[in-house]
Chains A and B, each alone.
Chain A
Amino acid sequence: MSGLVQDFRYALRQMRKSPGFTFVTVITLALGIGATTAVFSVVDQVLLHPLPYPDSDRIVKVAETFQGVSGTDASPANYLDWAAQNSVFAEMAASRGWPANLSEGDRPERVKGTMVTPSFFSLFGINPILGRGLAESDAHAGNDHVVVLGYGLWQRYFGGDRGTVGRNVRLNGEQYSVVGVMPPNYSPDDYGELWVPSPWGVPSHPLAPDKDPRQFRDRSYLDVWARLKPAVTPQQAGAELDTIGRRLEKQYPNEDDKIGVSFLPLHEYVVGDIRPVLLVLLAAVVVVLLIGCANVANLLLARAAVRGREISIRTTLGASRQRLLRQLLTESVVLALLGGGFGLLLAVVAVPSLLALSPPEIRQFKEIGINREVLAFSFLASIVCGIVFGLMPALQASRSNPSEFLKEGERGSTANRGRTRSVLVVAEVGLSLVLLVGAGLLVKSFARLMDVNPGFDADRLLTFNVGLPSSTNAAQQFAFYRDVMQRLQALPGVRSVGAVSRLPLAGGNSGRSFKVPGIDKDYSADIRVSTTDYFRTMGIPLMKGRNFSESDLGSSLNVAIVNDALAREVFPGQDPIGRQLTNFGPDNLTLQIVGVIGNVRHVGLDTAPHSEIYQLLGQAQWPSVFVAMRSATSDATSLTSMAQSAVWSVNKDVPLANIRTMQELIANSVQRRRFSMLLLAIFAGVAMVLAAIGLYGVMSYSVAQRTKEIGIRMALGARRPDVVALVVKQGMMLVLMGILAGTVLSLAMTRLIAGMLFGISATDPLTFAGVAVLLGAVAFFANYLPARRGASVDPMVALRYE
């Protein structure tokens, strides 16, 4: 033990003795360990931690399947049958988004509500910090006007007043009694900031909020959650749900045709999409760390050559090889720990910026930061690094035979060390090429994505959400929307205004099934309800037929405009104008197509357009709409306050929600891609710089070793350019080998990010070539500097010492 302390003290002295070496090493390691720790802190919370509910690994998200493909929601009737017939779940719950206008006095705010079954609270098992959650008795007509508040809303809107519980608040114009407040960050469905029950137990349909939903079997809008019984395995649960699903399909051959049921662990449901991104980033950052380690190993190898004498003397004085190894390893581990310490500081600074960049899937994890596990991780990473980069130099140094060393000088052993160092540099170049290729592919994908035509003109568009309470009737809602549209249109600086039920890239979607006379086939398409001016405002081109018109509102004919994708799918080679769509939606409407408009990328820029059917607002209704305003000036946000006043002048209880420009919506829709692209690009850049530094170090060392040879060559007539070429050629050989190895490795590795690419193959030759050229150019400079130094060798001096 005292030996260790002595080793440790000696290690500190060594570090003080060569501050330059210590500085470079510690910085390199701090960068590597800091970046790795930062990424790990995210991975730790998102992927490794259970969700913050008791026994959260037993909670699952249940959903209907269609033709064996899992969907995301379920109908109330199916939900009730699953709940009644299964024996594998201890509890089931259902919820749906219930956006509401919260108005106290003169401050209306559109808030994110969730309508839930009372079991929702017991299932997730989190107790309120004030009052109570929802109970079975709340879910009955007459008792149902109670609300549980989320912590954030309670703080923001009610100033955290404990007296809020028991008070009445106005939601959608009706009185609700506050019964409880949930703790911070409680949002199992990643939406709700308040929770209300339904008078029928099961949440009502958003378009028919006044109807008993319990018989609805063909309208799927519920998020369904369940908790597995303690002894039940997921396989057992899956088998039983399968049986239930098949039974229901037989029992309800119309509504449940091809409908089954499946579930996903809640954790998987929450992080499934982001997992590959995080794993790729973690792998990338570990590679950066490895490259850093290789650099430090190289420095240590160079120093081992210098310390050869010291080590031979120690050996002649009786130090065993083991003892020497221990001392050398202690030195490198101490270095690594120091690097790790600074790395941790770096991570503390970096994590907030990392989170600021990250998509909502990550940001919803509020606890991300440096916790005990992260500390342990970076400590462990430091130790492992210390051993990884210290072992090889230590082994080599301790192996050198002292008598040989004293007799032969450095000659024999340095050749060997030179080879090890070259191998390390080849590996560094290869690994950084892999990262560069990955980053290059993501950057190119991103560029391709931003070049995608979304189907509308996103410039100068301000969008927001308004809605009347669902308790209002259709005529009131229509009157409200019409008045709002007129006032907005009249505002100075507004070129045109439109409204639509579902705005592209704003999240959310709705579908309907329909038939076409004479064709025995069930079709389905996305449904939109829009105003007449919506297409013009958005710049969505009318390709055939006509737009909606005011006169349609008075007509008994239900008109529809379809998009190009639908026209091609349902009426290939025919004129869809004047054709009918029958059995449309649950109300079995018949629609007549009057126009065809261009496709819009609704789900994301990277998702091909679906078939779409537009109905006219007024002929069809929707609980809330997105308003799109095209501004006459380039700053669409300047319209915000005028728009707010205009809406308030129609109804003072209606707030604007989700105010964003279309450009923001586009940016949000690509945020995950931007996040992974940016991080990978940063890591690749760091990797390249580290590899270049490594190469520089090796070549400098090699030039120093070759001083005499260079002197001889110059005495025999070599000129400076000859010498530069000689050294650069040697270095570029290493680079070439690294690039070759990296290319082979990349071909295997880029398959892992194939799912993150868009419009480009994982083996895109242009990217591979471009990246190789970039790396080659950087490496050339890393080579050129030592080469130039080599060429300035004075042959007289070089030849003199020997």
Chain B
Amino acid sequence: MIQLKNIERTYKSGAGQTWVLRRVNLEIQPGEFITVMGPSGAGKSSLLNVLAFLDDQWTGEYWFREQAAYTMKRKERAELAKKNIGMVFQSYHLLDDLTVMENIDLPLSYKDIPRSERQSLVADTLDRFRIVAKKDLYPSQLSGGQQQLVGVARGVIHKPALLLADEPTGNLHSEQAKEIMELFRELNQQGTTIVQVTHSEANAAYGTRTIQMRDGWVVGDTANPNLSPANLTATEPRDAAVNR
């Protein structure tokens, strides 16, 4: 579904440059449930931003469903993302002034979908996530778990092929986290490809594949045992040092 070849991302820092993604090569198959792990600052969020097309300052090749996304214009990428990608955030990022229902409706409002269809999609989603009773409440009136439930609902309402979630349970306690992970598994089983970032081994267990990152490098991948951390530090010790 997705092929990343030699993705690099740098930020200017003072005199020089800081690498946050280094020669990332990654292939994501449809239906996978990938967990990205790694220490803070390893580049996990950066990778997700690249996947989500929120970032476009990287170099390398990004193939999305056999389309060369890296040659596309900003607008085309945005269009691609809008159609195919859903996002879930660690701090939910619900809009305070909108009700649950309106928040969920938000991604649809940016597509050319007839009003009636939108209404039925929203109704379906509320139903599916069992939050019908909360539809007229504002985010501040919900618990953290409930808010993230809404966040996930919003992320998938337009039936994206790929769901990206950056520490979706980071602000939740384990009981609530488990609920969200069950939901992810369910979505995955219904065919949604998922990439999640997490620090929790328990969450990682829900996935089908885990990727380890460190200092911008992909240093481990359960689908690619050849890529071992030891191997990597041996061959490129200096870069790793520079990045710190």
Contact = CB atoms under 8 A, between A and B. Distances in A.
A722 B95 contact: no
A795 B54 contact: yes
A303 interface: no
B91 A713 contact: no
Contact of A796 (B55, B91, B154, B158): B55
A708 B52 CA distance: 17
Contacts of A715: 52, 54, 87, 89, 93
B214 to A, nearest CB: 20
A314 B95 CA distance: 33
Interface in B83-100: 87, 89, 91, 93, 95
B82 A709 contact: no
A719 B54 contact: no
Contact of B91 (A709, A718, A795, A802): A802
Contacts of A718: 110
A714 B89 CA distance: 13
B111 interface: yes
B95 A709 contact: yes
A718 B108 CA distance: 10
B49 A796 contact: yes
A75 to B, nearest CB: 80
A799 B54 CA distance: 10
B89 A799 contact: yes
A759 B69 CA distance: 67
Count class of interface residues, chain A: 10 to 19
Interface in A780-802: 795-796, 799-800, 802
A722 B93 contact: no
Contacts of B123: none
B217 to A, nearest CB: 21
Contacts of B55: 796
B81 interface: yes
B7 interface: no
A712 interface: yes
B26 interface: no
A766 interface: no
B22 to A, nearest CB: 19
B91 A716 contact: no
A554 interface: no
A188 to B, nearest CB: 70
Scoring A712, A716, A795 by chain B CB atoms within 10 A of each residue's CB, the highest score goes to: A716
A717 B82 contact: yes
Scoring A718, A719, A796 by chain B CB atoms within 10 A of each residue's CB, the highest score goes to: A796
A716 B89 contact: no
Contact of A719 (B78, B89, B91): B78
B107 A716 contact: yes
Contacts, number: 40
Interface in A691-739: 708-709, 712-719, 722
Scoring A712, A719, A722 by chain B CB atoms within 10 A of each residue's CB, the highest score goes to: A712
B87 A716 contact: yes
Contacts of B181: none
Contacts of B75: 719
Interface residues of B, number: 20
Contacts of B28: none
Given A799-B93, A802-B91, A713 B52 contact: no
B87 A722 contact: no
B126 to A, nearest CB: 17
A800 B54 CA distance: 12
B110 A716 contact: yes
B42 to A, nearest CB: 16
B24 interface: no
A722 B110 contact: yes
A297 to B, nearest CB: 25
A717 B85 CA distance: 9
B154 A717 contact: no
Contacts of A722: 110
A719 B95 CA distance: 17
B111 A717 contact: yes
B121 interface: no
B106 interface: yes
Contacts of B87: 715-716
B110 A717 contact: yes
Contacts of B54: 714-715, 795-796, 799
Contacts of A716: 87, 106-107, 110, 154
A795 B106 CA distance: 16
Interface in B64-120: 75, 78, 81-82, 87, 89, 91, 93, 95, 106-107, 110-111
Interface string B127-161: 00000000000000000000000000010001000
A234 to B, nearest CB: 65
A713 B82 CA distance: 11
A719 B73 CA distance: 14
Given A709-B95, A712-B95, A799-B89, A719 B52 contact: no
A799 B48 CA distance: 13
B107 A717 contact: yes
Contacts of B107: 716-717
Contacts of A708: 93
A711 to B, nearest CB: 8
A106 B82 CA distance: 96
A241 B192 CA distance: 102
A802 B93 CA distance: 10
A717 B81 contact: yes
Contacts of A800: 45
A653 B154 CA distance: 100
B9 to A, nearest CB: 11
Interface in B36-53: 45, 49, 52
A714 B81 CA distance: 11
Nearest to A800: B45
Given A796-B49, A796-B55, A802-B91, A713 B78 contact: no
Nearest to A714: B54
A715 to B, nearest CB: 5
Contacts of B89: 712, 715, 799
Contacts of B154: 716
Interface string A469-497: 00000000000000000000000000000
A795 B89 CA distance: 13
A16 to B, nearest CB: 31
B98 to A, nearest CB: 9
Scoring B45, B49, B52, B54 by chain A CB atoms within 10 A of each residue's CB, the highest score goes to: B54
A403 B55 CA distance: 38
Interface string B163-206: 00000000000000000000000000000000000000000000
Nearest to B45: A800
B93 A719 contact: no
A715 B85 CA distance: 10
Contacts of A795: 54
A716 to B, nearest CB: 5
Contacts of B49: 796
Contacts of A717: 78, 81-82, 107, 110-111, 158
B167 to A, nearest CB: 12
A802 B45 CA distance: 15
Interface in A373-422: none
Contacts of B81: 717
Contacts of B158: 717
Nearest to A715: B87
14 contacts: A708-B93, A712-B95, A713-B95, A713-B106, A715-B52, A715-B89, A715-B93, A716-B106, A716-B110, A717-B78, A717-B81, A717-B158, A718-B110, A796-B54
7 nearest A-B pairs in the assembled complex, by CB-CB distance? A717-B82, A717-B110, A712-B93, A716-B107, A796-B54, A718-B110, A795-B54
Given A712-B89, A717-B111, A722-B110, 12 more contacts: A708-B93, A712-B95, A715-B93, A716-B106, A716-B107, A717-B78, A717-B81, A717-B158, A718-B110, A719-B78, A719-B110, A795-B54
